Amino acid sequence: MAGNILEYSDTSSHFNNIRTKPDQAHNNNNADTYYTKEEVAKHNTKSDLWMIINNDVYDFTLFFNLHPGGSIMLEGAGKDATYLFEDIGHSYEAVSLMSKYKIGKLSMKI
């Protein structure tokens, strides 16, 4: 956790960190992990914070306390937050930050 905070505040090496450090929460590539909307919906608190953005599923629990925009992020908790995320006009840095929190993709099964 402390490493995460340092990593975030050290903007000069930020992009290198994204490429070289494994995801601390889910140490795998996540390419073949699918979650339903119902599963994502169970993770809707600041201590268990998942979101769907552009059909990818993210676990932002470790990012919640680092979010520059603060707890408004909870509006997207457990939901498809694509519109919320994009409506703010987040920077390229914000978009880049997301990849390390990705845990899988949205299952399209009904």
Q: Which residue has the CB atom at the shortest distance from ligand HEM?
A: 69
- Residue 41 or 84 with smaller CB distance to ligand HEM: 84
Give least dist CB 12 to ligand HEM, A: 15
Task: Indicate the pairing of strand 44-45 with strand 102-106.
Answer: unpaired
- Residue 39 or 94 with smaller CB distance to ligand HEM: 94
Give least dist CB 74 to ligand HEM, A: 8
Q: How far is 31 from 66, CA to CA, in rounded Å?
A: 26
- HSE, CB side, 13 Å, CA atoms: give it for residue 91: 6
- Residue 9 or 110 with smaller CB distance to ligand HEM: 9
Return the SS3 of 38.
helix
Give least dist CB 69 to ligand HEM, A: 3
- Residue 33 or 67 with smaller CB distance to ligand HEM: 67
Which H/E stretch holds residue 20? helix 14-20
Q: Decide if 49 contacts 59 (C-beta within 8 A).
A: yes
